[in-house]
Amino acid sequence: MNSPGFYTIFWREMLSIRKKFWKFLAGSLVMPSLYLVTFGWGLGRGINVHGLDYLVFVLPGIIALSAMNNSFSGVAVTLNISKLYYRTIEEILVSPVSHWSIALGRVLSGCFKGLFSALLLILISLMLHIQIRYNAAFFGILFLTCFIFASLGVLAAMLAKSHEDMTNFTNFVILPMSFLSGTFFPPERLPEPFATLIMVYPLTHAAVSLRSLVAGNGVPFISLLVILFYGVVLFILGGKAIKRLEL
C-alpha cells in the first residue's frame, strides 16, 4: 500500500533526525536541563508553591515549555530555511500532495520533536527522584501542546518573509509566552490586568493543565477548550498559509 502524503513529509523529517541524531539529542536536552537546574535548584531551592516543593511545582511548566520550544522551532526553523534558502519546499509544492497533508506531516514531525524533548526531561527528572505522577491524560495534553506550537511553527514559517521576521516572531511571541505563561510561577501571582491577559496564551493553559494532572486532579474544562481551540485554528491557518504560498 502506498503511504499517504503526510506520512512521506513526516518520514522525510525523521530521516533528517536519524542522520543528525546525536546533535538532535543534545539540542533537545540542553535548554530544559538548564531551566531545571537554574529555576528548580538554583533559584527555587527551599521555596514552596501551593504547598509543593518548587522543583515539583516548576517541572510540569518546564516540560510544557520544552515541548513548546522544540515543537515550534523544530518546524518553524526548518520550514523557514526550506522556503527561503534551500527552496526545497518547492519540490513538495509541485508534487501531488495536498497542502493539508504537507501541514499535517510537518506538524506531526514537530510533535515528535516536542514530545521527544519532553520525554527526555521526564526521564532525567525520574533519575533525579523528582516525584511526579504521570498518566495518559498528561501525555494527551502534552501531545496537544506540541500540536499547537508545531502548527504555529508552520504558520510563522509561511508568513515570515525573511530570517529576521522569524527571529522577531520568536522574540515577540514565543519568548514572552515562555516566561509569562505560568511556567515558572502561578499565573495568579501577576497583577491585573496581566493575570487575565496571560490566560489568552495557550502555553498558560498547557502548564495549568499539566500541573493539575500531576496533582491528581483533572484538566480544567476551560483550559481543555482553549487548547483544542488553538490546535484546530492554528492548524487550519497553517494549512491555508501553505496553500496561499507563492515564492
DSSP string, 31-95: HHHHHIIIIIIIITTT-EETTEEHHHHHHHHHHHHHHHHHHHHHHHHHHHHIIIII-THHHHHTS
For residue 14, state whether it binds other proteins (rule: CB under 8 A): no
**In the complex, least distance from residue 61 CB atom to other proteins, rounded to whole angstroms:** 35
Q: Under a CB-based contact definition with an 8 Å cutoff, are residues 130 and 59 in contact? A: yes
Contacts 24+ apart (CB under 8 A), 122-125: 122/63, 124/29, 124/33, 124/36, 125/36, 125/59
Q: Which of 31, 63, 65, 92 binds other proteins (CB under 8 A)?
A: 92
For residue 87, state whether it binds other proteins (rule: CB under 8 A): yes
Nearest to 31 by CA among 78, 65, 61: 65
For residue 94, state whether it binds other proteins (rule: CB under 8 A): yes
By CB under 8 A, which span of 27-35, 37-45, 84-92, 192-200 interacts with other proteins?
84-92
**In the complex, least distance from residue 76 CB atom to other proteins, rounded to whole angstroms:** 19
**In the complex, least distance from residue 2 CB atom to other proteins, rounded to whole angstroms:** 4
Q: Which of 86, 172, 179, 194 binds other proteins (CB under 8 A)?
A: 86
Dist. CA 242–CA 31, nearest whole Å: 30
x/- mask, other proteins, residues 193-222, rule CB under 8 A, reads ------------------------------
For residue 21, state whether it binds other proteins (rule: CB under 8 A): no
By CB under 8 A, which span of 68-76, 95-103, 172-180, 220-228 interacts with other proteins?
95-103
- Comparison of 11 and 41: residue with beta carbon closer to other proteins: 11
Instruction: Output phi, psi for 56, to 5 deg.
Output: -70, -35
For residue 170, state whether it binds other proteins (rule: CB under 8 A): no
For residue 90, state whether it binds other proteins (rule: CB under 8 A): yes
Q: Under a CB-based contact definition with an 8 Å cutoff, are residues 156 and 74 in contact? A: no
Nearest to 43 by CA among 51, 52, 34, 32: 34
Instruction: Report angle CA 32, 36, 37 to the nearest 5 degrees.
Output: 120
Binding interface with other proteins (CB under 8 A):
2-3, 5, 8, 11-12, 15-16, 19-20, 86-88, 90-98, 246-247
